Amino acid sequence: METLTDGNSTKEMVKEKYSQIALQDRSENSSSCCGAGGCSTDAYTIFNEDYTGMKGYNPDADLALGCGIPVKYAGIKEGDTVVDLGSGAGNDVFVARSFVGDDGRVIGIDMTEIMIEKARKNNEKLGYSNVEFRLGDIEKMPVGPNRADVVLSNCVLNLVPDKKKAFSEIHRILKPGGHFCISDIVMSGVLPEKIQNAAEMYAGCISGAMQKKDYLSVIHSAGFQNVSIRTEKEIKVPDDILLNYLSADELKNLKESGVKIESITVTAEKAKSECCSSSGCC
């Protein structure tokens, strides 16, 4: 089993894993989810949410990898510019496009070349001229400052090694008064080292998750205000996944430890005006 070493190798591992996922269809991904009735061999797919009733939903773009439906709570308006981080095959992008209409714009960013290729092909079929997919890193986004009205992300920031940098970049690209809506995985308690160091559990959005209080603290530290948790749901990782890394006794101890894994959807706003360091608020 692969183990993690540093930030760069972590990114390369995530790119490799999600390149493999991009080549599978939705049924292959969801069939490895215990809740879907299959064998729980992969952690990537235990969180997926049902988008099928959403306006703008495109089944070709849905790889069943989200841990929430952030677009539901994003307050997207017609004419908005929306940026989706970790856009995959385009699922949240195309749903967001139904909100912004012809006068808005949606930009998807993903660091995996195969995902970008898949998303662009999906968009070619749909023919949207105001949808764009860009290859890029969330820690250094290919978007200028003060461009987005809304930033979305679905179960992706836990995969980013430097989460402080990621939220700083979100703050940079948002317009004054803009906001984000992010679904992600957070923790309460500490996972065993065998899980923390497993590459597969990082790529599966488990071991890269921050402590819930620390996650919210990073958002505040990045300069956001009106931080609000819109949804939260406990995630139960199936035993057959955990037993790939833990003995039966270690699994028993984990269950008794009170460790809690949650999916949350959180919103926050960038201030309408920034304060000047020397002369107060401008």
| DSSP 8-state assignment for residue 222 | T
Query: Could you tell me whether strands 275-276 and 260-270 are parallel, antiparallel, or unpaired per DSSP bridges?
Result: unpaired
Query: Would you call 78 helix, strand, or coil by DSSP?
Result: coil
State the Cα angle at 19 between 16 and 25, rounded to 5°.
Answer: 145
What is the model's pLDDT at position 39?
36
> Which residues, given as ranges, of the chain have pLDDT below 70?
1-10, 14-15, 17-18, 22-48, 197-205, 207, 274-282
Instruction: List the structure tokens of 159.
Output: 């995969």
What is the model's pLDDT at position 49?
79
Cα(121)–Cα(14) distance, rounded to whole angstroms?
Answer: 22
Q: Are 29 and 36 in contact (CB under 8 A)?
A: no
- CA atoms within 13 Å, Cβ hemisphere of 82: 34
Instruction: List the structure tokens of 63.
Output: 């790889």
Domains and CATH numbers, the chain: 7-269 (3.40.50.150)
Q: Residue type at 24?
A: Q
Residue keyed to tokens 């930030």 = 7
Cα(69)–Cα(92) distance, rounded to whole angstroms?
Answer: 8
State the Cα angle at 107 between 7 and 156, rounded to 5°.
Answer: 35
* Strand spans (E) along the chain: 81-85, 105-110, 131-135, 148-154, 174-188, 210-211, 224-235, 260-270, 275-276, 280-281
What is the model's pLDDT at position 139?
95
Q: What is the pLDDT of residues 42-72, one digit of tens each?
A: 444 455 678 999 999 999 999 888 889 999 9
What is the model's pLDDT at position 275?
56
Can you state the percent helix, strand and coil of the chain, rounding each to 5?
35, 25, 40
